[in-house]
Amino acid sequence: MVDVTDKAPTVRCATATGFVHCAPHVVAALRDQSVPKGDVLAVARVAGVAAAKRTPDLLPLAHVIAVHGVVVDAEVTDEGVSLAVTVRTADRTGVEMEALTAVCVAGLAVVDMVKGMDKHTWIGQVRLEAKSGGRSGTWQRTGKQGPDKV
Neighbouring C-beta atoms of residue 96, cutoff 10 Å? 21
pLDDT at 147: 52
pLDDT at 135: 85
Phi first, then psi: give them for residue 50, nearest 5 degrees.
Answer: -60, -40
Give Cβ neighbours of residue 140 (< 8 Å, ≥ 6 apart).
Answer: 129, 130
What is the value of pTM for the model shown? 0.92
Residues of the chain with pLDDT under 70: 144-150
Of the candidates 57, 112, 118, 148, the residue annotated as catalytic is 112
The CA-based dihedral angle spanning residues 104, 142, 149, 35, taken in that order and rounded to the nearest 10 degrees:
40
pLDDT at 1: 87
Has 91 been annotated as catalytic?
no
